[in-house]
Amino acid sequence: MTLVEADDEGRQTPMGLARYAYEYIEAAILVDNQMGAKPGHEFVPPIPAYFLALHGIELTLKAFMRHKGMSARQLRSKDFGHDVRRCYRKAKELGLREIIRLDSGDLRAMLMLLDLNEYQALRYIRTGAKTFPSWAIVEPFAVRLHQAVANDIGARTFTRTYG
């Protein structure tokens, strides 16, 4: 292990990951509230809102994984990296379903976000037909997931609730 990797182990904490996750999800909500209220976004929220939400979800899962004993090096590895599907599978193995019950809307939101981001398409334009999830399922999923994980590790989280 290099000096930088050893330093990451002490500095990349579950609490820190949860904080970054919170801020990305909060930024996604702000982008949707500001840009999404403008003409042209009546049916599809701004793409940056989707990207920020998905990255917040990734960081939330990694906060949980780190809390359950995974190393920073493991989280960075090619096994996980930015692969939210693999992170979600591993988080489930580590007990994620013990702290949150995901409904079909939550899973649909995540799968649709992952499909949208195939080949980094939320960051770089890819032409062609796309299916966008309703923000009405993306925001509650991201927030509820963060609330469950943050409460489990003792981090700050959102106070909003969804029906």
Q: What value does the mean pLDDT of the chain take?
A: 92
Please indicate, yes or no, if residue 1 is contained in any of the structural domains.
no
Report the CATH number at residue 76: 1.20.120
Please indicate, yes or no, if residue 27 is contained in any of the structural domains.
yes
- List of residues 6+ apart from 31 with CB closer than 8 A: 45, 46, 48, 49, 52
Confidence grade of residue 33 (pLDDT, cut at 50, 70, 90):
very high
**Mean pLDDT, range 15-25, rounded to an integer:** 98
Please indicate, yes or no, if residue 29 is contained in any of the structural domains.
yes
The number of distinct structural domains making up the chain is 1
Please indicate, yes or no, if residue 66 is contained in any of the structural domains.
yes
Please indicate, yes or no, if residue 87 is contained in any of the structural domains.
yes
Please indicate, yes or no, if residue 9 is contained in any of the structural domains.
no
Please indicate, yes or no, if residue 10 is contained in any of the structural domains.
no
Alpha carbons 32 and 77: distance in angstroms, whole number: 32
Whether the predicted pLDDT of 95 surpasses 80:
yes
pLDDT attached to residue 111: 95
**Mean pLDDT, range 103-122, rounded to an integer:** 93
Alpha carbons 41 and 37: distance in angstroms, whole number: 7
Question: What is the Cβ-side half-sphere exposure of residue 24, based on CA atoms within 13 angstroms?
Answer: 20
The Cα-based distances of 100 to 7, 11, 92, 120, 149 in angstroms read 32, 27, 10, 28, 8
Please indicate, yes or no, if residue 79 is contained in any of the structural domains.
yes
The pTM assigned to this predicted structure is 0.93
Q: Which domain holds residue 142?
A: 15-153
Give per-residue burial for 116-134: e unless 16+ CB within 10 Å, then b.
bbeeebbeeeeeeeeeebe
